[in-house]
Amino acid sequence: MTPGQAAKKWAKEHPEFTGILLVISHTRKGRGGWGQTTRTNKFFVRDGKSAQRRDAPGRQGFNGVCWACGQIYLKTVLRWAVGPDPQAGEPVPDDELWQSYKGESFVYHEYAQLRACPKCVEEHNLTITFLGLGPVWACPTWARIHPLADGMPVDTNVPHEMLDLR
Ligand SMILES: [Zn+2]
């Protein structure tokens, strides 16, 4: 069974689950099959259906978790978007800076970025960007993940399940 087939079957058996399913697959390698590679395959699951992380044609959209509302989207309707940073112009505390920037002075950028669904783009008046705003290099402003995301960038606010195909 491929990871995709396993995820599909698991999702069907758990129609109440909304979150991320990590499918661990093992492939024998080498002659005699005594080496093994282990791979973690990430699937988004809701309503008894599953979808692997993917981009829309043209790479303008993608599926996954909306960082504003926390909903899972199986279809590639999510976009990078920016919204005004409520703390624009205020000094950035040292503990929010990446390691290599600690000790330097930054102020919050006018805009902060996040991954958002169409509903949240409309509701929070966000502006869709193609590749995200990104940090502004060599500039004393700090474009951060929008506070609407509330820790979502690593998808930690979403339930995770694991399925080992061993
Ligand atoms: Zn949303």
Residue 1 corresponds to which amino acid? Answer: M
Q: Which residues neighbour ligand 1 (ion) by CB within 5 Å?
A: 66, 68-69, 117, 120
Task: Kindly give the distance from the C-alpha atom of residue 41 to the centroid of ligand 1, in angstroms, as a whole number.
Answer: 24
By the 10 Å C-beta count (0-12 exposed, 13-18 middle, 19+ buried), 11 is classed as buried
pLDDT tier, 32 (very low <50, low <70, confident <90, very high otherwise): low
Task: Give 84-125 pLDDT, tens digit per residue.
Answer: 999 988 999 999 898 998 998 899 988 898 999 999 999 999
Q: What is the pLDDT of residue 59?
A: 72
pTM for the model: 0.81
C-alpha–C-alpha distance, residues 20 and 44, integer Å:
5
Residue 82 corresponds to which amino acid? Answer: V
Task: Kindly give the distance from the C-alpha atom of residue 36 to the centroid of ligand 1, in angstroms, as a whole number.
Answer: 39
Q: Which of 24, 56, 49 is nearest to 164 (CA)?
A: 24
Q: Are 3 and 17 in contact (CB under 8 A)?
A: no
Average pLDDT over residues 138-161: 81
